[in-house]
Amino acid sequence: MFTLINKIKLTRKQLILFLLLSIFVKLAITFTTKGFQGDLDFWRLWMEDLGAYQLGGIYTHDDSVNYPPMFLTVLWVFHTFVKHVTIYSVKLPVLIFDLLAVLLMMYVFRKLKLTDSQHRKLILYLLFSPVLLFISSVWGQIDFVHSALMCLAIIALPYLPFGSGLLFALALLTKLQAIVIAPVFALFLLQQLRQSNVRCVWSYISGFLLPWLLFSVYFILNFSFVAFIQHSYMSAVGYFPYVSLYAMNIWFHVFGVAPETLDTQYMLPHLTYRAFGFGLLALFTAYSIYYLTSFKQYSLNTLLKSGLILSFSFYMLPTEIHDRYIIPSVVLLVMVAFFERKRVWFVLMLGLDLASLVGIAIFLKHTKYPWLDQLGTKVPYVFIAMFVTVIIITWNELHAEKRKLMPSDDAVIIAHN
């Protein structure tokens, strides 16, 4: 199968045709499924409030708004042209946001001269990935967008530091969860400083600050900067204080803990579930840093895999994690598989895609089909197995790298003589 993937050639014109086909497929799914009504009701409410108060006033007038301004901007523009939305058309801004992310990916790949057939097949897979189709066209959520921006920011980092900083800022202005891959950028920039490449560092910082400056000035002029920060970023922890929000991770029935358990409860004296989860995340963040710094040069593949470790750890280990938070790991794993071009990564890519689809579908349908709850207790073990596999593979890689950097016995003898 994987030999076949490598042999198939995909031209730019064929990719554009598949892009048009994916738009048709997503529209067909969008207008035949009702999606997650809780989120879609918020999109409709926010569009109405954006029409009344504009982007500059929505954070001060609507306490339900807890998203950064990128998606709100898309809703605002959409509402300018479409005043009345149905239970189906309310998902259209999500599809537009998705399409913009794909077009941006095609542009960045072309800018970086990543235009061979393999890179086109990567984009083709993302267009028709089962879980990505489901999350946007069925559910009506935007997780693919900030996931794509996170990946593009890493891919651009060694080549276009200004663009990388800009893309990472846009990811954070779409969803706060993008912050989990920040150590990748920090380590790369520290390496550039050690190599006296100050220009690269300033270029990245300039790109990162530009969109923040534009949005900050806009909200300051509208007297809503403080509300923007509070609503977008300050309510992330404790907003839903449960050990799992249907994320199929270590807190979903794995240790006998029900997902609806409050994470402020004590699992041991002086140790809450929340604190323990953050401790595990800190441990694997340290491992990700150790993995990346074990390499003399930070290649694109090692940067992507370090980001994958961080993103996957963020889904698997802390409390208060939503089921949708697996999407960045799905997209990062697609990038790793197609850039690394090894069978094991393709197997993991397909496995995580399908397991994520099952997990998210269980959340949407478990009230209608109670037997899905029983199935849901088994799915976390699949995620745990894949997470452990990623850790084992990267552990073996870093030790292989360390052996390469160690002087051979002959070299030691020569040096001694």
* DSSP codes, 276-323: HHHHHHHHHHHHHHHHHHTSSS--HHHHHHHHHHHHHHHHHSSSSEEG
Contact 267, 276 (CB under 8 A): yes
pLDDT at position 315, please? 98
Backbone angles phi, psi at 127, to 5 degrees: -65, -35
Q: Which residues of 246-267 are buried (b: 16+ CB within 10 A; e: fewer)?
A: bbbbbbbbeeebebebebeeeb
Domain ranges of the chain: 1-234, 237-405
In angstroms, the CA 359 to CA 276 distance is 24
Contact 304, 336 (CB under 8 A): yes
In angstroms, the CA 394 to CA 397 distance is 5
Contact 72, 65 (CB under 8 A): yes
Contact 158, 303 (CB under 8 A): yes
Going by DSSP bridges, is the β-strand pair 244-245/321-322 parallel, antiparallel, or unpaired?
A: parallel
Contact partners, residue 55, CB within 8 Å, separation at least 6: 69, 72, 73, 76, 218
pLDDT at position 417, please? 40
Backbone angles phi, psi at 271, to 5 degrees: -135, 110
Q: Which residues pair with 354 in a beta bridge?
A: none
Closest CA to 300 of 147, 112, 110: 112
Contact 39, 75 (CB under 8 A): no
Closest CA to 47 of 104, 92, 3: 92
Contact 188, 303 (CB under 8 A): yes
Q: Which pLDDT tens digits describe the chain residue by residue (417 residues)?
A: 455 566 667 888 999 999 999 999 999 999 998 889 899 999 999 999 999 999 999 999 999 999 999 999 999 999 999 988 888 889 999 999 999 999 999 999 988 888 777 888 999 999 999 999 999 999 999 999 999 999 999 999 999 999 999 999 999 999 999 999 999 999 999 999 999 999 999 999 999 999 999 999 999 999 999 999 999 998 766 678 999 998 999 999 888 888 999 999 999 999 999 999 999 999 999 999 999 999 988 999 999 999 999 999 999 999 999 999 999 999 999 999 999 989 999 999 999 999 999 999 888 875 566 777 777 788 899 999 999 999 999 999 998 887 877 665 444 344 444
Structure tokens at 308: 């994958």
pLDDT at position 318, please? 97
